Amino acid sequence: MFNPISAAFKKARVENRPALLTYTVAGDGSKKQSLDILKSISKNADILEVGVPHNTPVADGSQIQTSAYRAIKRGIKINDIFKIVKDFKKFDKNKPVILMGYYNMIFQYGDNNFLNKCKTSGVNGLIVVDLPWPENKDFAKKCKSKSIYFIQLLSPTTTGKRLKKIIKDSHPMNYFISMLSTTGGKLKVSPQEILKNYHRIKNINPKKEIVIGFGITDKTIGKLKSADGLVVGSAICKEITRSLNSRQNPVINVGRLVRKLKNKIK
Amino acid sequence: MKLKKKIPVIDQGNSHGFWGGKFGGNFVPETLKKPIEDLEILFNKLKKDKKFIAERDKYFQNWVGVPTRFIKLKNITNYIGGAQIWSKVVSDANGGAHKIYNATVHCLLAKRSGKKIICGDTGAGYAGKMLSMAAKKFGLKCKIFMGAKDIARQQPNVKAIKRNGAEVIPVYSGSQTLVDAVSECMRFWVANCDTTAMCVGSTVGPAVFVRICGWSTSQISRELKVQLINEFGSIPRKLKLYNCVGGGSSSFGFWNEFMDYDKKQVEFIGVEAGGPKKSKKHAAPLTYGSKIGILHGAAQYVNQNSDGQIEETESISAGLDYPGISPLHCFLKDTKRARYTAASDEEALRAYKLITKFEKLRPSLEPSHAFFVALKEAKKLSKDTVVVINSCGDAYKDKEILEKRLGKKYV
């Protein structure tokens, strides 16, 4: 299956750098502002993760929770999120977009309805935080039939045996959680340690793209450059919060932050 | 969907932890897969281990204090003039509520797994209080997550938790009640599962927590069965067991040993929190037909909007103020083994007034919901019907709410 996510990794590899993945919450700021943020960062980010805000998240730290509650409070609905993606794709049709969220929202929409809507809106991949392997097998198959990557999460607690099984079933991209933490926690292990775990996973099947996420900021991103891709989420959400609180334009500030991140991994 | 006989309900889930093929499961972040699997292996082994059971029973006997009383409420029976009304006074247990059973078992499991810290959620504060007591008893460090709104309204229990040396971590997100406390506690566990054990305070959460809690609170019905036989010579021909249902831990424990009886003989009635009479919000997903959704790692009936956002609940009783319900109760509802209904805040208060007027018993606001429905129905039942209400918590923790709503003389 052709998927622009794979093309994005290829491009980064040619440029001899990891792919930069950003995470922002759909509807954070406002619907329009969150779309404008995507537009402003698309120049420097390779893959855009768009968070589907949920009000009982079991794996998000305070920064992403703040963004999610703000978006929900402003009335964001799933259909608005699909519209944001669709509008973004009109602006930059080849930039891969991944939706990240919790399974109940998909379940209520209906698996098939949700995936059809993903397809027509231009969503290229899905991360479902609370739908682990092997429970996600059926859903991942449905994704595959729509040429949407289902991205498996791997954690420092995932055993070697389990890693092999998950990777065997996985689509071309997987997501390694750097440490035992919710999103945005302080990096409590060294970049060397993270990379050691990363390579252990990468070696299982070098063809699979593995990105690292959780706790990555402009301070730490440069030390993890040897990965296939790096995800920055909470640091961006924090910047949005800071901008809104100080009455500055989050679109400009986040655009600047992502440019800075990109420069660190060049 | 069918309830099997001779197999404990906690063991009737499929290999993925689903009861009836659709309730429960393990909708958890990858990081928790391993710790949950470890806990499952440990629990499955220990629940068959005679030594472990003996250890549990020793602590239940000498420390929790079993059996809790089974008493006839003579005055209220005369006043109502229908069925015989009895109560299982589970609030006799050390600490004043049924939460002690689950807390004790979780601390025993934590000790066996070599963990030094245990974290837990609490709504009414009982689960937190009991976990802090048990943690102290077994030498574990303890962290309790509690919604800021609940901290304000359940101060006596908050003080007790702190006295036991545990840390109370206020949760300010969302509705600042139990639902947010459970989320925050799970998040804490995600980040600290290498050193810390988690105790989920009710029969909710990923499947293994549902099972451990149900296994622990079943002590209530084990005792009741013996007490009924001592009192009546056998299990009465018409027995009705009333229990409030929030997450569902006390009710499940109150019913478990009677599961295989025909419901015409032993009927289970679960009473959810209907919330304030004038409010549209409630904590009664089974009564008001909420849809199946996923909350805190398990599929269950849950109050939610069409997008799948969990809805805020409202109830005078912090212990019942939860938008979801145990997968075990979803299973008992859909197999029609148990019947579920709701009582409003006002009805619970009315029942509390009546009970305290006639009897030397002070049920907390949670069981007061069950008392309301039981008293209402008992009126129409024959004299040979035995109605038993689980008085699973003591009203001491509610003194501020009771004083505000009913006046000083009811405190």
DSSP secondary structure letters along B119-173? EEEESSSHHHHHHHHHHHHTT-EEEEEEEHHHHHH-HHHHHHHHHTTPEEEEE-S
- Could you count the other beta carbons within 10 Å of the beta carbon of residue A189? 15
A104 touches chain B (CB under 8 A): yes
Contact of B154 with B124, CB cutoff 8 Å: yes
> Which residue matches tokens 């005078």?
B316
CB pairs under 8 A between A and B: 114
For B195, nearest residue in chain A (alpha carbons): A180
| Residue-number span of the structural domain to which A187 is assigned | 4-265
Kindly name the residue from A28, A36, A46, A49 that is annotated as catalytic: A49
Residue A16: exposure state from Cβ atoms within 10 A (0-12, 13-18, ≥19): exposed
Per-residue pLDDT tens digits for B248-291: 999 999 999 999 999 999 999 999 999 999 999 999 999 999 99
In eight-state DSSP terms, residue B291 is P
C-alpha A210 chain-centroid distance? 12
* Cross-chain residue pair B296–A56, CB shorter than 8 Å: yes
* pLDDT at residue A1 is higher than 80: no
Q: Smallest Cβ distance to A158: which of B34, B174, B310?
A: B34
Site from A157, A167, A183 to mutate, B interface, most B CB atoms within 10 angstroms? A157
> Which range among A178-182, A255-259, B16-20 shows the weakest confidence by mean pLDDT?
A178-182
Q: What local confidence, expressed as pLDDT, does residue B25 receive?
A: 98
Q: Smallest Cβ distance to A105: which of B30, B193, B308?
A: B308
Q: What local confidence, expressed as pLDDT, does residue B170 receive?
A: 97
Region A57-69 average pLDDT: 93
* Cross-chain residue pair A130–B190, CB shorter than 8 Å: no
* pLDDT at residue B217 is higher than 70: yes
Contact of A26 with A71, CB cutoff 8 Å: yes
**Band of the pLDDT at A187, cuts 50, 70, 90?**
confident
A154 touches chain B (CB under 8 A): yes
Q: Smallest Cβ distance to A104: which of B33, B34, B308?
A: B308
DSSP-based three-state secondary structure for B317: coil
Taking CB atoms and an 8 Å cutoff, what residues of chain A touch B309?
A: 54-55, 72, 105
Site from A60, A64, A74, A104 to mutate, B interface, most B CB atoms within 10 angstroms? A104
* Cross-chain residue pair B30–A159, CB shorter than 8 Å: no
Interatomic CA distance for residues B133 and B115, integer angstroms? 17
**Band of the pLDDT at B410, cuts 50, 70, 90?**
confident
Q: What local confidence, expressed as pLDDT, does residue A153 receive?
A: 98
Residues whose CB falls within 8 Å of the CB of residue A36, separated by 6 or more in sequence, listed in order: A251
Encoding tokens for residue B68? 């809790």
Region B162-182 average pLDDT: 93
Per-residue pLDDT tens digits for B377-390: 999 999 999 999 99
* CA angle centred on A171, ends A170 and A175, rounded to 5°: 75
Between A146 and B410, name the one with better pLDDT. Answer: A146
* Cross-chain residue pair A108–B307, CB shorter than 8 Å: yes
Q: What local confidence, expressed as pLDDT, does residue A11 receive?
A: 97
List Cβ<8 Å contacts ≥24 apart for A186-193.
Answer: A186/A215, A187/A215, A187/A216, A187/A217, A187/A220, A188/A215, A191/A220, A191/A223, A191/A224
| SS3 assignment for chain A | CCCHHHHHHHHHHHCCCCEEEEEEECCCCCHHHHHHHHHHHCCCCCEEEEECCCCCCCCCCHHHHHHHHHHHHCCCCHHHHHHHHHHHHHHCCCCCEEEEECHHHHHHHCHHHHHHHHHHHCCCEEEECCCCCCCCHHHHHHHHHCCCEECEEECCCCCHHHHHHHHHHCCCEEEEECCCCCCCCCCCCCHHHHHHHHHHHHCCCCCCEEEEECCCCCCCHHHHCCCCEEEECHHHHHHHHHHHHCCCCHHHHHHHHHHHHHHHHC
Interatomic CA distance for residues A152 and A170, integer angstroms? 6
Interatomic CA distance for residues B176 and B389, integer angstroms? 30
Per the annotation, the verdict on A49 as an active-site residue is yes
Strand partners, B138: none
Interatomic CA distance for residues A129 and B190, integer angstroms? 12
Taking CB atoms and an 8 Å cutoff, what residues of chain B touch A104?
A: 293-295, 304, 308, 310
Region B94-102 average pLDDT: 96
ipTM exceeding cut-off 0.85 for this assembly: yes
**Band of the pLDDT at B408, cuts 50, 70, 90?**
confident
A27 touches chain B (CB under 8 A): no
Region B214-222 average pLDDT: 98
**Band of the pLDDT at A49, cuts 50, 70, 90?**
very high
A113 touches chain B (CB under 8 A): no
DSSP-based three-state secondary structure for B318: helix
In eight-state DSSP terms, residue B408 is G
Residues whose CB falls within 8 Å of the CB of residue A222, separated by 6 or more in sequence, listed in order: A264, A265
**Band of the pLDDT at B175, cuts 50, 70, 90?**
confident
* CA angle centred on B186, ends A125 and B135, rounded to 5°: 160
Contact of A42 with A48, CB cutoff 8 Å: yes
Region A106-112 average pLDDT: 98
Kindly name the residue from A28, A46, A60, A209 that is annotated as catalytic: A60
Interatomic CA distance for residues A241 and B329, integer angstroms? 41
* pLDDT at residue B49 is higher than 70: yes
Q: Are strands B23-24 and B18-19 parallel, antiparallel or unpaired?
A: antiparallel
Q: What local confidence, expressed as pLDDT, does residue B212 receive?
A: 98
What domain count does chain A have? 1
Q: What local confidence, expressed as pLDDT, does residue B304 receive?
A: 98
Average pLDDT of every residue of chain A: 96
Contact of A221 with A14, CB cutoff 8 Å: no
A59 touches chain B (CB under 8 A): yes
B34 touches chain A (CB under 8 A): yes
Which domains, ranges and CATH numbers included, belong to chain B? 18-59+97-214 (3.40.50.1100), 65-96+220-410 (3.40.50.1100)
Q: Smallest Cβ distance to A177: which of B31, B34, B294?
A: B31
Contact of B122 with B129, CB cutoff 8 Å: yes
Taking CB atoms and an 8 Å cutoff, what residues of chain B touch A61?
A: 187
* Cross-chain residue pair A54–B295, CB shorter than 8 Å: no
Q: What local confidence, expressed as pLDDT, does residue B197 receive?
A: 98
Average pLDDT of every residue of chain B: 97
Taking CB atoms and an 8 Å cutoff, what residues of chain A touch B295?
A: 56, 104
Q: What local confidence, expressed as pLDDT, does residue A223 receive?
A: 96
Region A141-156 average pLDDT: 97
Residues in chain B: 411
Interatomic CA distance for residues A115 and B34, integer angstroms? 29
Q: What is the CATH number of the domain that holds A109?
A: 3.20.20.70
B324 touches chain A (CB under 8 A): no
Region A243-262 average pLDDT: 97
* pLDDT at residue A112 is higher than 90: yes
Q: In this structure, which amino acid lies at residue B108?
A: L
Per-residue pLDDT tens digits for A22-42: 999 999 999 999 999 999 999
> What is this structure's pTM?
0.97
- The torsion region of residue B361 among left (phi > 0), alpha (psi -120 to 50) and beta comes to beta
H helix or E strand, kind and range, residue B248: none
The closest of A116, A149, A123 to A6, measured between CA atoms, is A149
Mind giving me the DSSP string for B346-401? HHHHHHHHHHHHHSS--B-HHHHHHHHHHHHHHTTS-TT-EEEEE--BBGGGGHHH
* Cross-chain residue pair A182–B27, CB shorter than 8 Å: no
Per-residue pLDDT tens digits for B3-35: 999 999 999 999 999 999 999 999 999 999 999
Interatomic CA distance for residues A257 and A259, integer angstroms? 5
The closest of B359, B360, B358, B369 to B392, measured between CA atoms, is B369
Per the annotation, the verdict on A60 as an active-site residue is yes
Region A63-79 average pLDDT: 95
* Cross-chain residue pair B28–A130, CB shorter than 8 Å: yes
Q: Smallest Cβ distance to B35: which of A77, A157, A162?
A: A157
The share of chain B scoring above pLDDT 70, in percent, equals: 100
Q: Are strands B69-72 and B84-89 parallel, antiparallel or unpaired?
A: antiparallel
